[in-house]
Amino acid sequence: MSSEQQAVARARKAFETGRSKSLEHRIRQLKNLQRLFTERQKEISDAIKKDLNKSEVGTQLYETLGLEGEISLAIKKLKEWAAPRTVEKNLLTLSDTVYIKPEPLGVVLIIGAWNYPWAVTIQPLIGAIAAGNAAVIKPSEVCVHTAKVMEDLLPVYIDKELYPVVTGGVSETQELLRQRFDHIFYTGNSMVGKLIMEAAAKHLTPVTLELGGKSPCYIDKNCDISVACRRVAWGKYTNCGQTCIAPDYILCEPSIQDQVIEEVKKSIKEFYTDNPKTCPDYGRIINQRHFKRIMTMLDDSTIAVGGDNDESDCYIAPTVLRDVKPEAKVMQEEIFGPLLPILSVSGLDEAIKFINKGEKPLALYVFTPNDKVIKRMVDETSSGGLLANDCLVHYSVSSLPFGGVGNSGMGCYHGKFSFDQLSHQRSCLIKKLNMEGVNSMRYPPHTPKKLGWARFFILNNVDLGWIGRMALLAVLAVVAAVVLQNYLL
């Protein structure tokens, strides 16, 4: 038996003990996970510095701070989320107990990504723990140092049988995917997402796929272009552009292209100094393979800002490309790097048409002071999320579901959405062995009169107060007696 099989078997065996279902156990595990981020921040930050050149403050700001907030929310709300949920009744179920009971799915596989290795791996783990599941955690092997820290630290703080960490590369992931899980949660690209879904289909395992795509950014000529470009530059160049919801490209009218370029250039200097290579807040491309992939995208486009690079350091400067054509290399796939193409459109109509010709993106950004422009973007396009007049920050709102649509993914998480995504919403109807007369309408022989009574009872939902329910129950008792006596014939 492989180490991956053993990890899954241990998690399954631990889940079958039932201990993960206890709310007290879930809260204790979440508190332990929270303690990890306060006690071992230095080790977390040092590893991410080696992997992505993120500063310690940047690591807390973009990786662990949000996780601490998610854990606090889950601890605070868990009893409410896990409680049975009452539902509306019809006349046939008026005297019954009808509710939805969230219950654990079982053993969840969580496959993390390398660009925000803690944030996108631990966020779904929080949901898995809160929902009462066991979870096998597979951090991305691309972040070598961070994967090792996860492997070392997570078993110290949380139940190592219920939540084992499996490290390794493609072969280890493939071996995991051959095992049977109750849910698979993957963050990454659409190409691998298809392989995950194919593997899951063999066991009819449901999946959550958090993918990406080319997230458009439309800048209206009537907005405050200076502020808009400052926010776009922050959203684009954070983590060296390696963010799944980074603005992938700008759409704007030709008349403002030069101003957009100048304002983005100013913001680059403000954020990262005249020499971003020496700035502690500017990251690096994860490895040389991705460096070469990104540099190839520059072949047929005109550089307006930046372009400096150093393969030995995996450094690519914040770069702006002007007059980019739709058929350019940089427009054929998600960039996932610090290149910002600008494409000219004649206005809002053409921008919407261009966006709708492509795959549905994970995020869509629009900068405008005009509510009508925003409304048209909301009404006439489709994307995982839409944000007006800012970038990225919708990810931090726990009350909003985060996820893609179409090619950018399926399923969503954050806050209660994580809990619900990794729970089974079990339908429960508790009846008593009385009022059998009402049931006569469903028993053969079937007659038009029985059908008439069935229509009355099934098609009428009720929303009554306590007194109304008591009165209606009395009436139904009488009806049941009459029905029983006459057999509805």
Positions marked active-site:
210, 244
Residue 286 sits at φ, ψ, to 5 deg, of -60, -35
Q: Are 424 and 128 in contact (CB under 8 A)?
A: no
At position 467, the amino acid (one-letter code) is I
Cis peptide upstream of residue 139 (ω within 30 degrees of 0)? no
DSSP 165: B
CA atoms within 13 A of residue 308's CA, in its CB half-sphere: 11
Sequence-distant (6+) residues with CB within 8 A of 146 are: 44, 47, 48, 51, 114, 117, 118, 139, 140
How many C-beta atoms lie closer than 10 Å to residue 317's C-beta? 21
Q: Are 141 and 135 in contact (CB under 8 A)?
A: no
Measured between alpha carbons, how far is 387 from 394 in angstroms, rounded to an integer? 7
Sheet of 385-388, strand order:
302-305, 319-322, 339-344, 249-252, 216-219, 363-367, 385-388
Lookup: tokens for 411:
């399923």
| Long-range contacts from 429-436, C-beta under 8 angstroms, 24+ separation | 429/93, 429/96, 429/97, 429/98, 430/96, 430/97, 430/98, 431/93, 431/96, 432/95, 432/96, 435/95, 435/476, 435/477, 435/480, 436/480, 436/484
